[in-house]
């Protein structure tokens, strides 16, 4: 435990570090990767280049430091990050490496202002925060490996079917090479895929939500090909689309994540997705149809138009089997979409539409999509008085703020 003096130093220096937050974490990553290039096998290089990961880590270290004498208060955040860490294979021995380079960065950015007293206090505080992560992650490693059909680390899966779902989204049906059982998962959870691409110096790991209901003999992921406009094309998604064919083997870690449908609750749910954000929602939808066909579901999907609208027939046929109201929004419908009446509403999902069409007072809301889309949905739900305990969301990248 930390003494009172250390706690006071930490709390009084957090605001100073927050001002320099991104500068510190930028120096931190640069030095850490210089000294430990092997960590580039785990970190997403594109997130680094865009500064997303820096913001996420800086934000969490300072949030944790503010609550250093009451880490219980940030346990939900620790839990969410620990799921990601476990899915990536982060181990206890990685923590001292991060701690050492964080202190080096604090010293470098703050200069003389970083006295020995301050540095020692931060070393102690980092130790407490790291221990909290390590112990939560140890339980998760244990649970992942020891569940029925579970495993430790990455396990080889063979691509059974590869199915084009739209011009930009393709599904991969994955079965374990060993032919044994696979772990159950909660609808909304994801797996990590680790790729070795010929000619690349490092492995690349990415998360993909499981897009079908649990209880099958396969896992399904549905991947959007990320085209860069002025930036390079997305590495893993393009490789999966263009180079991974049926019969090839992918390395997969066991399902993870704290974003999942509460299948105990019987009150209505509203599943809202934008673009490829529909993958966890389809898993939830298919699960409700299997397990709780009496539950009221509103499935709202927003896409640009029919060309990029994935899993359309599957959603329509599942909706027909259960108490599901499925509504499709296109903001750029094509002539063909108009002729075939293949969407319900033109434009974006609005607060007014939600107010008129869903049970605001009782429903739980689950949403996922591009960050601006998520910000708009979150703001609409808050304005309509939906309480935080009924708002659930997933980021398809490092966590960010949804404040507008």
Ligand X SMILES: Cc1cc2nc3c(=O)[nH]c(=O)nc-3n(C[C@H](O)[C@H](O)[C@H](O)COP(=O)(O)OP(=O)(O)OC[C@H]3O[C@@H](n4cnc5c(N)ncnc54)[C@H](O)[C@@H]3O)c2cc1C
By CB under 6 A, the residues from 47 to 76 that bind ligand HEM are 47, 53, 56-57, 60-61
Structure tokens at 202: 């490092």
By CB under 6 A, the residues from 160 to 199 that bind ligand X are 190
Q: Is 209 in the site for ligand X (CB under 6 A)?
A: yes
Helix ranges (H only) for 204-363 are 235-243, 278-291, 312-321, 335-339, 351-357
Q: CB under 5 to 8 A by kind: which of ligand X, ligand HEM, none does 193 bind?
A: none
Q: Any catalytic annotation for residue 137?
A: yes
**How many Cβ atoms from other residues are within 10 Å of residue 184's Cβ?**
13
Q: Is 223 in the site for ligand X (CB under 6 A)?
A: yes
Q: Is 394 in the site for ligand X (CB under 6 A)?
A: yes
Q: Is 51 in the site for ligand X (CB under 6 A)?
A: no
CA distance 275 to 132: 36
Q: CB under 5 to 8 A by kind: which of ligand HEM, ligand X, none does 98 bind?
A: ligand HEM
b/e code 134-164 from CB counts within 10 Å (16+ = b): bebbeebbeebeeeeebbeebbebbbeebee
Q: CB under 5 to 8 A by kind: which of ligand X, ligand HEM, none does 279 bind?
A: ligand X
Nearer to ligand X, 67 or 202 (CB): 202
Q: Considering the complex, what minimum distance in angstroms separates the CB of residue 400 from ligand HEM? A: 8
Stretch that binds ligand X, among 44-52, 170-178, 287-295, 345-353 (CB under 6 A): 44-52
Q: Is 237 in the site for ligand X (CB under 6 A)?
A: yes
Q: Is 399 in the site for ligand HEM (CB under 6 A)?
A: yes
CA distances from 129 to 28, 121, 126, 174, 345 (A): 17, 12, 5, 36, 48
Q: Which residues contact 230 (CB under 8 A, 6 or more apart)?
A: none
Residue 17 near residue 106, CB atoms below 8 Å: yes
Q: CB under 5 to 8 A by kind: which of ligand X, ligand HEM, none does 342 bind?
A: none
Indicate the helix (H) or strand (E) that contains 169: strand 169-176
In the stretch 108-147, what mask flags binding to ligand HEM with x, by CB under 6 A? Answer: ---------------------xx--x--------------
Residue 174 near residue 220, CB atoms below 8 Å: yes
Positions annotated as catalytic residues are 95, 137
């Amino acid at each position: 435990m930390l003494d009172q003096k250390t706690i006071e130093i930490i709390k009084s220096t957090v605001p100073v570090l927050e001002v320099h937050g991104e500068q510190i974490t930028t120096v931190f990553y640069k030095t850490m990767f210089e000294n430990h290039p092997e960590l580039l096998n785990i970190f997403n290089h594109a997130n680094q280049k865009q500064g997303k990961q820096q913001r996420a880590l800086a934000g969490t270290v300072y949030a944790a430091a503010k609550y250093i004498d009451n880490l219980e208060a940030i346990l939900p955040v620790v839990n969410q990050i620990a799921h990601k860490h476990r899915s990536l294979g982060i181990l206890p021995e990685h923590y001292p490496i991060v701690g050492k380079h964080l202190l080096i960065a604090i010293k470098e950015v703050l200069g003389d202002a970083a006295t020995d007293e301050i540095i020692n206090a931060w070393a102690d505080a980092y130790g407490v925060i790291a221990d909290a992560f390590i112990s939560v992650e140890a339980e998760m490693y244990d649970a992942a490996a020891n569940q029925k059909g579970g495993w430790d680390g990455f396990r080889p899966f063979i691509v059974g079917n590869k199915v084009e779902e739209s011009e930009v989204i393709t599904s991969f049906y994955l079965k374990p090479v060993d032919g044994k059982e696979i772990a159950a998962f909660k609808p909304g959870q994801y797996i990590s895929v680790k790729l070795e691409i010929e000619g690349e110096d490092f492995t690349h790991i990415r998360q993909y939500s499981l897009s079908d209901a649990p209880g099958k003999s396969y896992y399904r992921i549905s991947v959007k090909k990320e085209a860069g406009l002025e930036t390079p094309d997305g590495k893993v998604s393009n490789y999966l689309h263009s180079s991974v064919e049926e019969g090839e083997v992918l390395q997969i870690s066991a399902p993870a994540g704290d974003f999942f449908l509460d299948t105990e609750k019987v009150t209505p749910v509203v599943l809202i997705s934008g673009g490829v954000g529909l993958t966890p929602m389809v898993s939830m939808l298919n699960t409700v149809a299997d397990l709780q066909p009496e539950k009221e579901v509103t499935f709202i999907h927003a896409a640009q138009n029919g060309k990029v609208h994935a899993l359309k027939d599957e959603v329509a046929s599942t909706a027909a089997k259960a108490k599901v109201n499925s509504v499709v929004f296109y903001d750029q419908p094509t002539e063909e979409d108009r002729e075939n009446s293949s969407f319900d509403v033109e434009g974006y999902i609005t607060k007014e539409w939600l107010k008129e069409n869903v049970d605001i007072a009782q429903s739980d809301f689950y949403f996922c999509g591009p960050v601006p889309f998520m910000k708009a949905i979150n703001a609409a739900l808050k304005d309509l008085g939906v309480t935080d305990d009924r708002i659930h969301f997933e980021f398809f990248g490092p966590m960010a703020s949804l404040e507008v």
